[in-house]
Amino acid sequence: MINKYIIEFKQLVKIGVPIFGSQLSYMLMGATDTIIAGRASSSDLAGLAVGNAFSTTIWMFVSGVIFSVTPIVAQLYGAKKFHEIGKKLREILWIALALGIFIGLLFMNMDLILNLLPIDKNITDISISYLKAVALGFTFITIFTCLRCYSEGMTLTIPVFCIAFIGMLINIPLDLMFVYGWMGAPKLGGVGCGIATSIVSFLMMITLFIYIAISKKYKKTKPFSEFSPPTVATTREVFKLGFPIGLGIFIELSMFSGAAIILGTLGETIVASHSIAINIASLFFMVPLSIGLAAATRVGNLIGENNPRQAKVASYSTIYMCMLTALLNSIVILIFREYIVGFYTVDPLVFDLAVSLLIFAAIFQLPDGIQMGALGSLRGYKDTFIPMILLFISYWIFAMPMGYYLTKIGLNGPMGAAGMWYGMIIGLTIFSFLSIIRLNWIIKKFARVKIY
């Protein structure tokens, strides 16, 4: 039995390390935007924070449909149905294109919503301009995500990492150019981060397209060997599996976005501090997130091979690894929180509040890591609907109402930003327990049913 776990630990590391590199690259792009905009002004940082709260939540909801590509491809790859993988990719790319255009149009018109919110107009003006600048980039990144999930579903995670890493490096000088007006570029403040993101997203999409087309690693699936129009069957399959993923991600991220909106009424300092703390917590969360994403591929491959016993071992291995890495994250955050926050801001008020909020960020690393391990394994089983319901219960019924109450009213008076973080910790803890219960049920179900 121990040998089986060792095998899975090795597989998760093999698949997960490049995924971690990719995810870290994506997050470092966001961190670069936050740091550079934050050093421009508190208003630019707050405007970027509100813009990202909306753009990330909406994009993750829509692109969650595309995330279904990973378990679909993973199970087909385990079953060695290579020709069908290429056909599925071509059909799903049409869906990705349509969703990408939809997101771009939506972001171009987000002023209709942002102008109605009780947030300082100086902040919303920057947010609106940023969303218009980044709109086209999200169209490109949606298509890139489809190609990325196809590659990762076949355990080919290194090419995606290399492209994401290079994209992250290119994003740094582009941010400096468009935020500060270097090298003759217009000085746009936080809005310049949107221009940089759109350029990098286009380059990443084109590069991955070319690599998949010429690399021998993808040849057996014949990804672009012929023309395949969209089909009703594949579209139905993608939305049946992917819509609950997207809605589940939306529910989770809306908790963080809702927190930003609630705290947005308390002033620029609190919004900026909260943004820094969330960004740092998200960076550390990349480790358990990468393990969970690797689990979706690994468990999917094993289910495709009709090997539910080893899929069970892979699922439990994922939980153990996520718990360990989350615990290490918490320790690092607590020890180095002042040093880390120093990279983000020079404002003493923002600095002090962000440092205090990182204590809460360290606490919720553990339940957040556990739930990601369970959620990734469940996706490998193609179980997405019930986890979505559990997310709704945990975050919208418990986390958000409790966070709002503690922030605005409190047990002995309003708690401010700390109250919102207490609410988020409670929601994450509830979902971590519920997701493990669901995973155990699915494991037992697949142990009784022959897959193919």
| Domain assignment of residue 33, given as a range | 2-448
pLDDT exceeds cutoff 70 at 128: yes
Domain count of the fold of the chain: 1
The 10s digit of each residue's pLDDT in 31-47 is 788 788 776 776 777 77
Q: Which residues contact residue 301 at a Cβ distance below 8 angstroms, ignoring those fewer than 6 apart?
A: 74, 75, 77, 78, 155
Please give the full DSSP string across 15-57, using - where no structure is assigned: HHHHHHHHHHHHHHHHHHHHHHHHHH-HHHHHHHHHHHHHHHH
Ranking 35-44, 101-110, 300-309 by mean pLDDT, the lowest is 35-44
- Residue in the block written with tokens 């057996």: 220
Q: What is the 3-state secondary structure (H, E, C) of 123-143?
A: HHHHHHHHHHHHHHHHHHHHH
pLDDT for the residue 449: 60
Q: Which amino acid is at 173?
A: P
pLDDT band for position 331 (50/70/90)?
very high
pLDDT band for position 120 (50/70/90)?
low
The 10s digit of each residue's pLDDT in 135-148 is 899 899 999 999 99
pLDDT exceeds cutoff 80 at 410: no
pLDDT for the residue 129: 78
pLDDT for the residue 1: 64
Q: Token pair for residue 111?
A: 């002023």
Centroid of chain to Cα 226: 32
Q: Which amino acid is at 87?
A: K
Burial class (CB in 10 A: 0-12, 13-18, 19+), 146: buried
pLDDT more than 90, % of the chain: 51
Q: Token pair for residue 351?
A: 């600095």
pLDDT band for position 433 (50/70/90)?
very high
pLDDT band for position 118 (50/70/90)?
low
The residue ranking higher by pLDDT, 330 or 109, is: 330
The pTM of the full predicted model, rounded to 2 decimals, is 0.84
The 10s digit of each residue's pLDDT in 308-328 is 999 999 999 999 999 999 999
